[in-house]
Chain A
Amino acid sequence: MVGAARWGHVGAGPMPRRQRKRFYQNVSISQGEGGFEINLDHRKLKTPQAKLFTVPSEALAIAVATEWDSQKDTIKFYTMHLTTLCNTALDNPTQRNKTQLIRAAVKFLETDTVCYRVEEPPALAELQKNEWDPVITWAEKRYNVTIGSSTSILGPNIPASTKETFVSHLASYNMWALQGIEFVITQLKSLILSMSLIDRHITVEKAVLLSRLEEEYQIQRWGNVEWAHDYDLCELRARTAAGTLFVHLCSESSSVKHKLLQD
């Protein structure tokens, strides 16, 4: 068995390498004791910390296998978002437990993008109001909470009861799904947009657009720079889509191996 996924530890060199040559012909999945495993030829995929790579959902395993099979001459790890998310769930490199993850996620509400408003220029303030108010209204209705928005530098004043509601809602997700949720929140810089996305109220494209509202406004005004703007846009879309898919595939009770998801 080879630590195939330990990019950075394979071969000599102090810096983790972003790429290495594709060293396998066939990618397949198999079912083991703990869940679904990925096979690169005859080798079983391992995590960066050398654990056996096992995922609780067959659909997720298939998607991960597809990432590995899509690599051409070189393995571009920075494009393999689902693999990365699984590795994070399996290794838990930041050593956070469920409570800490939930706390980190809900803390984002205090600086939530959609709640933090500008006053200048008026056109941007208007755009924020028109695009972000509906999402806040949706969240307030859906979760029966008060959120609001603010132009103050301190941000919105979120009532403790609102935070508690989100804490208990997030507690209903298993550890894997929570890793995914926290990832999406850090990408979109918004708990509200993330919940809107995970509750399937908006699409990934819309969530990313709303997250990048100010950038989009500046692009409209000053023009688009493909190598920067589009590059960032595609990367954010890819990561957000991966995170969302990851959450949904880890939450489906029908296809999930519960033993692996023990908190």
Chain B
Amino acid sequence: MAAPGAPLRTLRALLRELRRAAGRSYRDSPAYRHVLAAFRAHRVTSEKLCRAQQELHFQAATYLCLLRSVREHEALHREYHGRGERSPQEVAGLVGFRLPQQPGGKG
């Protein structure tokens, strides 16, 4: 089965992502509580190797990948694809001009 790395590291990283997503009240969020409860119930440590634990670890690693990728994709979108067009004022400013306030180009 895949999902390399220690289950505890995956759990910590997953909780960190959930904290990022939720904000201040992350501890009360259903996802945070569900993940903690699931790990406690299966008591994931590096010694035990039962199938249910491996499946849980794989699920946690997959969810971690989802949260992380969505965050990174969002950041890239904002950085490169979100800005839209510049306003006429901004374009003028690029070459050192200011748009005129009065018709006829005065002022």
List CB contacts (< 8 Å) of B28-52 with chain A.
Answer: 29-31, 34
A62 to B21 Cα, complex, angstroms: 13
List CB contacts (< 8 Å) of A72-115 with chain B.
Answer: 76, 79, 81-82
Q: Is the CB of A66 within 8 A of B29?
A: yes
- Please indicate which of the listed interface residues B3, B62, B77, B79 has the most CB atoms of chain A within 10 Å of its own CB: B62
A65 to B59 Cα, complex, angstroms: 17
Looking at the assembled complex, report how far the CB atom of A122 sits from the nearest CB atom of chain B, in whole angstroms: 30
Interface of A is mostly: helix
B contact residues, range: 20 to 34
User: Which residues of B sit under 8 angstroms from A201, Cβ to Cβ?
Assistant: 1-2
User: Which residues of B sit under 8 angstroms from A79, Cβ to Cβ?
Assistant: 70, 73-74
A230 contacts partner chain B, Cβ-Cβ < 8 Å: yes
User: Which residues of A sit under 8 angstroms from B54, Cβ to Cβ?
Assistant: 200
A29 to B30 Cα, complex, angstroms: 9
Q: Is the CB of B31 within 8 A of A227?
A: no
Q: A62-B31, A204-B65, A234-B69 are in contact. Are A227 and B80 (CB under 8 A)?
A: yes
User: Which residues of A sit under 8 angstroms from B1, Cβ to Cβ?
Assistant: 200-201
User: Which residues of B sit under 8 angstroms from A66, Cβ to Cβ?
Assistant: 18, 21-22, 29-31
The contact of A237 among B2, B30, B69, by CB within 8 Å, is B69
Q: Is the CB of B34 within 8 A of A245?
A: no
Q: A200-B3, A227-B79, A230-B76 are in contact. Are A62 and B34 (CB under 8 A)?
A: yes
List CB contacts (< 8 Å) of B52-97 with chain A.
Answer: 54-55, 58-59, 61-63, 65-66, 69-70, 72-74, 76-77, 79-81
Q: How many residues of chain A get a CB closer than 8 Å to chain B's CBs?
A: 35
User: Which residues of A sit under 8 angstroms from B63, Cβ to Cβ?
Assistant: 63, 241, 245
Q: Is the CB of A241 within 8 A of B65?
A: yes
- Write the A226-257 contact mask toward B (1 if CB under 8 angstroms, else 0): 11001100110110011011001100000000
User: Which residues of A sit under 8 angstroms from B80, Cβ to Cβ?
Assistant: 226-227, 231
Q: A59-B34, A227-B81 are in contact. Are A238 and B69 (CB under 8 A)?
A: yes
User: Which residues of B sit under 8 angstroms from A62, Cβ to Cβ?
Assistant: 30-31, 34
Q: Is the CB of B22 within 8 A of A69?
A: yes
The contact of A70 among B3, B22, B72, B81, by CB within 8 Å, is B22
Looking at the assembled complex, report how far the CB atom of A257 sits from the nearest CB atom of chain B, in whole angstroms: 17
Q: Is the CB of A203 within 8 A of B61?
A: yes
B contacts, CB < 8 Å to A = 1-4, 18, 21-22, 29-31, 34, 54-55, 58-59, 61-63, 65-66, 69-70, 72-74, 76-77, 79-81
List of 9 A-B pairs having minimum Cβ-Cβ separation, nearest first: A241-B66, A234-B73, A227-B80, A238-B69, A237-B69, A70-B21, A241-B65, A66-B31, A234-B72
Cross-chain pairs A/B with CB under 8 angstroms, 9 sampled: A203-B65, A205-B65, A230-B72, A234-B70, A234-B73, A235-B73, A241-B69, A242-B66, A244-B62
